[in-house]
Amino acid sequence: MTSNSIKLFDHYFNKIFAVSQLALLIAVIFEFINSSYYLASSLAGVFLVVGLGFLVLHNTRPIATLILLLVVHTCLATIIMWLYGGIHDEILIVYPLILIFAALLGSTKLMSFLFAFISMAILSNGFVNHYGFYQNSTQAINLQSAATVNLILLVIFVCSYFSAKSIKELIAKLIDENEKILQSKREIQKIVHQDALTGLPDRVKAEEKFMQLIAAQSSENNKVALLFVDLDDFKNINDNLGHQLGDKFLQLIATRIAGAIADVGSIYRIGGDEFIILLHCIYSTAEVQEISENISKVVSQPLTINDYHLSSCCSIGVSLIPDDTEDFESALKYADIALFQAKNAGRNHICLVNQKMIERTQYEFKLQEELRKSLRDELFKVHFQPKLDLVTNKIIGAEALLRWWHPTLGKITPTEFIPLAEKSGLIHELGFWVLEQSIKECIYWHKHGNKRLVIAVNLSPIQFNSPGFTKSVLQLLGRYGLSESFLELEITENLLIEQNEAQKYNINMLAAAGIKLVIDDFGKGYSNLAYIKKLNIHAIKIDYEFVKGMAISSDDRAIVTTIIDIAKRLGIESVAEGVETEEIASLLKQLGCKYAQGFLWSHALESTAFRQLLKEKN
């Protein structure tokens, strides 16, 4: 260890040695000028001994040189301490420096020895002075002592500078070396195409095997199946029990699957918890189904790691070769499409890809592209559907509903494009744009005589994921000068139940800022009442399906009656959406529902048409 440190710090050690020798030389001259000949000659002696020692020993025995340097300097400092000011002598500040170098370059033994020696020297000096056996002179503070202290400090300063510099250089070198090692490890992995964790071959090997299987495919009607296997909820294991345990879990699962398909296919790891399986010779989809079910079964069997009893399951997407494609990339993509369907169907599902699925995915992919373009080209429009007071029959506000007319694809409904905007992340930009248009429109109404109109804007749960969402809403209101109380945000029940930290934060902050939160499509989801009070919900919107059914179904009527009653008891407003007939409007009025919207009064209108309607009605 010691010789290693010296080797690593060799350059630095030479500098420190030179600095200490230079300081000694200055001290010799200094003392000589001061006529302290005795001290000057002692220092000169030390200078010569250490210098000679360095010349003779440095190349062959670096440790001995270090010991010589530190021991001689410790002795010198101790002698000076004893001869002059005792433990009040300024020379004492050399000790920490000596101990630091012993720690950096020498061994623990050397450091402990020096510490014990210094400690004893100080204690014994204190002892003899205390009991009067020996008396050190109390030195007057003068320019000479100040110069000595400064000289020692200068040596400490220069030595610390060199120490820090070489430690930093050393760390940079180590980081560099480490990166090189990692890089070569990655390159080796690439060459062998083997996953380091599970030992399974990787995607490149899967493609190679795929090509071989295609080439060898006979005309006997046999097929190849590509299975895309993804563990459900593996993230939970990683997040809750740590990556080490997660790694072990993956290794065990990989071994299990490999064992289950050993006779019929081969397995490859292509990502965190994603595996490809190639079934080499298949004659029917029933056979694929059976093998896939067997894989699901072995994955779901519980296992124990470090006393944790774990269980998981997997979703599987399948594409068939040559039925679906003969190209590896497409086979993988189609299996991935099927996997997505399997995941959507809930956990632990198997799904074989079909043409409809492929077309649907391709269409959705195209729509996502078009969404981006249309947002850029301003092809979206916000329409406004009036919300009425059932008693006065006056418009009290409106719901902003987004509209998209695509130049070639035609009218696309929000129920179709909103989920795609959510999937692609475009919902943030799109949602913000809707909010801005809505606030601007509301300001217009206020300026033209409808001062109490409230604008309701639908929000996607995804929009609540960004921690800065509330701030941007408040900034927008501030920019256009609309008070928080004129903005209603429509959210779904699911958001309230399954919220994450960012969503929770935004919901609370929005409510605290005085923005009205409305639960949309109430009754359709879990309808958990606890959060209504907890989150200071302003109103619930009774789902269209129940409202529509009121006229014909006693069940729906009972549900609507109950919802209105709950709202009344909780002191919040109820709004009925999707009112299409006078009959339903008067039923709602009888039940005590105060507000409603629906085609009975108006569809969602373009802003100019809505403004006209306002003029006529209010």
**Residues found near Mg ion in the complex (CB under 5 A):** 458, 490, 520-521, 577
Closest CA to 369 of 421, 413, 319: 421
Calculate the alpha carbon distances from 435 to 492, 502, 503 in Å.
Answer: 17, 20, 18
Closest CA to 541 of 589, 584, 492: 492
Contact pattern for ligand C2E over residues 225 through 264, marking x by CB under 6 A: ----------------------------------------
**Does residue 98 interact with ligand C2E by CB under 6 A?**
no
Closest CA to 110 of 163, 57, 140, 69: 69
* Nearest-angstrom CA–CA distance, 34 and 224: 98
* Nearest-angstrom CA–CA distance, 437 and 400: 9
| Partner in contact with 202, chosen from ligand C2E, Mg ion, none, beta carbon below 5 to 8 Å by kind | none
**Binding to ligand C2E, residues 152-181 (CB under 6 A):** none
Residue 576 host element (H or E): strand 573-576
Q: Judged by CB under 6 A, how many residues of this single chain contact ligand C2E? A: 24
| Encoded tokens for 154 | 């200068």
For ligand C2E, which is the closer residue by CB, 118 or 421? 421
Q: Which residues contact 24 (CB under 8 A, 6 or more apart)?
A: 43, 46, 47, 50
Minimum distance, C-beta of residue 525 to ligand C2E, in the bound complex (Å): 12
For ligand C2E, which is the closer residue by CB, 230 or 577? 577
| Partner in contact with 361, chosen from Mg ion, ligand C2E, none, beta carbon below 5 to 8 Å by kind | none
For ligand C2E, which is the closer residue by CB, 436 or 580? 580
For ligand C2E, which is the closer residue by CB, 241 or 609? 609
**Does residue 599 interact with ligand C2E by CB under 6 A?**
yes
**Does residue 494 interact with ligand C2E by CB under 6 A?**
no
Contact pattern for ligand C2E over residues 512 through 531, marking x by CB under 6 A: --------xx----------
Minimum distance, C-beta of residue 313 to ligand C2E, in the bound complex (Å): 32
* Nearest-angstrom CA–CA distance, 249 and 234: 9
- Whether the bond between 467 and the residue before it is cis, its omega within 30 degrees of 0, is no
Minimum distance, C-beta of residue 541 to Mg ion, in the bound complex (Å): 5
Stretch of residues binding ligand C2E (CB under 6 A), selected from 155-163, 218-226, 265-273, 597-605:
597-605
| Encoded tokens for 592 | 């005590």
Among 97, 401, 439, 584, binds ligand C2E (CB under 6 A): 401
CA dihedral (144, 145, 148, 153) positive or negative = negative
| Encoded tokens for 600 | 């009975």
Stretch of residues binding ligand C2E (CB under 6 A), selected from 95-103, 259-267, 458-466, 566-574:
458-466
Among 598, 607, 610, 614, binds ligand C2E (CB under 6 A): 598
| Encoded tokens for 585 | 């409007």
Contact pattern for ligand C2E over residues 412 through 451, marking x by CB under 6 A: -xxx--x------------x--x-----------------
| Partner in contact with 413, chosen from Mg ion, ligand C2E, none, beta carbon below 5 to 8 Å by kind | ligand C2E
Helix residue ranges per DSSP H, 58-142: 62-83, 94-105, 108-130
* Nearest-angstrom CA–CA distance, 207 and 327: 10
For ligand C2E, which is the closer residue by CB, 167 or 613? 613
Strands (E), 289-409: 303-305, 308-310, 313-321, 350-352, 380-389, 395-406
Residue located via tokens 């029933």 = 286
**Binding to ligand C2E, residues 306-325 (CB under 6 A):** none
Binding region for ligand C2E (CB under 6 A): 385, 401-402, 413-415, 418, 431, 434, 458-460, 490, 520-521, 544, 577-580, 597-599, 604
